[in-house]
Structure 1
């Protein structure tokens, strides 16, 4: 199977920021929380970690008015990857909070930490819910896929995908020969909110034979294979001239 090498490069360059990571380096690569929520809402943690062996991820919520820890949780991380989870807090009060995260060896804690804390601020409003538009929807779906019906030679084109998610999801994009459904390329990446993506492509006949193709696009739970959204397809013809 021929991979979409140039396609993957464009996606990575446009969407993700990669930092050099040593093979045995344990670290929190990314740590995301909401900027503000209502006092009846639940903080949601999205984290990407790099680990060389099984580690403990520690997360604590600190009320900055008095510096009291109002929530602690500990998650066992067996392999590197992206994770998300909720932090329900009983009787959450309006105010300013800080959420701290660090890694430790298995069954160890603060004194044995192997990373310094990564910290993010959270504002809890004096409202039941955040009036700002939600980053998520009530249903996981691919809303729309746009791509030309024919690609001629080295023509520069774009694959545009609009999607909605109920929480962080994996977006799968496959390129198939629509005459026999042979797979020519596949890409998966995580989306953390409703949105769209535009993928520029050029010189496709250099990498793929002239034929009838179809893009097949769908959403899954993170690190899962089973689609949770209806698959969306877009057929097109690839010609030399």
Structure 2
């Protein structure tokens, strides 16, 4: 049985989807069956098939179990705003119970490498007093933190890691993803993270033009819980 990974980030636009799809691509290249999920997605596009989110579609492209879109992304919102605000405007309930119920497919293929990509950072609000991190706690998923490498990332990374551990979860690794190609003192910041983070580094992904899963996978390694 391979544990489900939860992919979170230091903040919005840290590169969660790139790293999540890269991990799925890498797992597939090593002969594993894969499946990615994006339970909450804002900034969706209206299509003839309904709302579709680019992040969810990127995960589906690297998934081999063939789930329907609604199983991968059960809560889709058109405006590119915080999901709890979008849900309130749309009259949808995204409580912990509702999100958990919508993800019943997870675990049904425990032989596969499955991951869930969050939205925003670790403490993403759902409804008043409830957070997406509560779902992760209830399911006891393993966590991978994507650090968007830019000015201020040390504080965000260390606080996120401390909170994940304080929530009683296993941080199985972190990835440095260079989102700002002009970041000053990148090497020094990376060295600081490698000393301070309480989990192994699963990869250092440079700033990639037209980045895709295959490119990202070349800079990643699977966490030990996914290795044969």
Same fold, TM exceeding 0.5?
A: no
Larger Rg, first or second structure (1 or 2): 1
Looking at secondary structure, tell me which structure has more strand per residue: 1
State the TM-score, normalizing by the size of structure 1: 0.23
Higher RCO (C-alpha under 8 Å, 6+ residues apart): 2
TM-score normalised by structure 2 residue count = 0.23
Structure with the higher helix share, 1 or 2: 2
